[in-house]
Amino acid sequence: METLSACTLHHRFVSGAISAKEIVQNLLHHIKQYDSKIGAYLLVLESDLYAQADYLDEKRQRGGRLGILAGVPFAIKDNMHVKGHITTCGSKFLTNFVAPFDATVVRRIKEEDGFVVGKTNLDEFAMGSSCENSALQVTRNPWNLDLVPGGSSGGSAAAVAASMASIGLGSDTGGSIRLPAAFCGISALKPTYGRISRFGLVAFGSSLDQIGPMAYDCDDIELAMQALGVHCERDSTSLPGESFVPVSFEAKFGQGMRVGVPWQFLEALPLESRKVFDETIAHLKEMGGHIVDVDLSILKYALAVYYILGTAELSTNLARFDGIRYGLRSERAGNLDEVYDFSREEGFGDEVKRRILLGTFVLSSGYQDAYYKQAQKVRRIIIDKFAEAFRACDFVAMPVSTGAAFPFGAKKDPLSMYLEDIYTVGANLAGLPALTIPSGHLEDGRPLGVQLVAPQRHDAEIISVGKQFQQRTNYHKRRPNFQRGGLS
């Protein structure tokens, strides 16, 4: 099956070259053929898709207004609500939970005539960097089934990489959109904090979480942002005022651009990844980029800050899973205390428990100043250092991760898994937009990604750079070979 470019598919549908029903039939056929091996979807909304296709074909025939996403299939990470369907968060705690309302992002997709294809796998409550923490299913990397797809939005990344959706929605608290996108060789945006509504997203770290699109290329990312980057009055952290508006590379950077690179922070980058990154820098130079050395050495502390603030927030957010109103209730519980204690013991996996415990620790009496408050202060220093860097450059370029996708079970101790996010967490701590694009492949074919990190609300600017980059390069066009050797 050819790649499912959202923009192409939309135009083909609008022009009548393909019907909505054909789109759905082809897509479902493809999913049935391959997803048993990849495991991207936890649920596929087959009957909803046919109903939506009939509605769209009828609407086009009678000349009704078609939304900007008409004909575009979306995969939704299973921590966002689609009314009437499960939201499991990849957890045993929520296997039976049925969402009573649509997340704002899902409402926007429906309003703009997109297809909601299904719910995709994730690390439990989005906590993880490989997708191995899902309590429900294994998701494999379409480039090589022995490798993890990255996490936590591994299902959405694998679905897009394997052409089982045009656009995947992920959520990114410390790198959960960018890391799987890089591991699966696709483009993705972690937008400015507040750019996309979080209403209907199950909260993890409320000051860090951000929903974003994952797609074949930056044209598709831009299309998704036009539909999703709007103010939402049901999310009090939603950016007020103007919606996302695309900008042209020519208008913004036609006269040149200043690209910051934190060379000192990247000292530990392994040689093979460094080679790919140097190629990226060469491309950016050819695009008119003036390379500036920026000092972001403070980012070596970002992961420690993230693990204190992120766990503090998640331990608070996950307090709502008490076994009373929804989700799992332990059958062993004989009294109210046991409902809490046993339901949470049975419902949460090890990583979630570890993080709740850590969050409870850093907020507990006697430790709060030493850990939580100190982390909040270092967060401010990180924000200030980014602001300083952005006085010298328009955006910062750096790798998404130190290496490419790794085999299942390769990162056994939690800390080595946490270190996968060493380059990504900074953007979350400072609320900055970060665009990931495929930037090359290792000798064994595994893809790598680069991220462009910009000041707040400069989402459109980095997308314009990404689009220009993809006009000059072919990295994003190389697709996994999962139909043949990869899946045999």
Partner 1 sequence: MTKVTKENVRYLAQLCRIACSEAKVDSLLEDFQNVVSYVEQLNEIDTSETEPCSYVTLGHTETPLREDIVEEPLKKEEVMANAPSTIAGLVRVPSVLQSS
Judged by beta carbon, residue 152 or residue 470, the one nearer partner 1 is 152
Judged by beta carbon, residue 349 or residue 438, the one nearer partner 1 is 349
Question: Rounded to whole angstroms, how far apart are CA atoms 461 and 455?
Answer: 10
Judged by beta carbon, residue 10 or residue 110, the one nearer partner 1 is 110
Question: Rounded to whole angstroms, how far apart are CA atoms 347 and 320?
Answer: 13
Judged by beta carbon, residue 2 or residue 331, the one nearer partner 1 is 331
- Report the b/e string of 177-191 with b at 16+ CB within 10 A: bbbbbbbbbbbbbbb
At closest approach, how far in Å is the CB of 177 from partner 1? 17
Q: Which DSSP state fits 342? A: H
At closest approach, how far in Å is the CB of 453 from partner 1? 14
Judged by beta carbon, residue 229 or residue 440, the one nearer partner 1 is 229
Q: Sheet holding 289-293: strands in order across?
A: 41-44, 115-120, 73-77, 167-171, 211-215, 187-190, 434-441, 447-453, 395-399, 257-261, 289-293
Q: Which DSSP state fits 147? A: B
Judged by beta carbon, residue 3 or residue 368, the one nearer partner 1 is 368
Token readout for 103 is 């997340």
Question: Rounded to whole angstroms, how far apart are CA atoms 308 and 174?
Answer: 12
User: Cα 400 to chain center, whole Å?
Assistant: 12
> Which of 152, 156, 166, 187 does the annotation list as catalytic?
152
At closest approach, how far in Å is the CB of 132 from partner 1? 15
> Which of 5, 77, 134, 187 does the annotation list as catalytic?
77
SS3 337: helix
Longest Cα separation, the chain: 71
Question: Rounded to whole angstroms, how far apart are CA atoms 155 and 119?
Answer: 8
Q: Could you tell me where the DSSP H helices lie in 167-255? A: 178-183, 218-228, 249-253
Active site residue 176: yes
The candidate with the shortest Cα–Cα distance to 4, out of 74, 65, 99, is 74
Token readout for 419 is 């270190």
At closest approach, how far in Å is the CB of 356 from partner 1? 5
**66 close to 59: Cβ distance less than 8 angstroms:** yes
At closest approach, how far in Å is the CB of 302 from partner 1? 10
Sign of CA dihedral 126, 127, 129, 132: negative
The candidate with the shortest Cα–Cα distance to 436, out of 400, 383, 488, is 400
Token readout for 221 is 């990312």
At closest approach, how far in Å is the CB of 390 from partner 1? 11
Judged by beta carbon, residue 248 or residue 297, the one nearer partner 1 is 297
At closest approach, how far in Å is the CB of 316 from partner 1? 10
The candidate with the shortest Cα–Cα distance to 350, out of 196, 78, 134, is 134
- The single-letter code of the amino acid at 17 is A
DSSP string for residues in 391-447: HH-SEEEEESSSS---BTTS--SHHHHHGGGTTTHHHHHHT--EEEEEEEE-TTS-E
**372 close to 312: Cβ distance less than 8 angstroms:** yes
Active site residue 152: yes
Judged by beta carbon, residue 30 or residue 354, the one nearer partner 1 is 354
Packed helices 20-38 and 6-15: angle between N→C axes, nearest 10 degrees: 150
At closest approach, how far in Å is the CB of 218 from partner 1? 25
Question: Rounded to whole angstroms, how far apart are CA atoms 430 and 339?
Answer: 38
Active site residue 77: yes
Judged by beta carbon, residue 2 or residue 413, the one nearer partner 1 is 413
Which positions are annotated as active-site residues?
A: 77, 152, 176
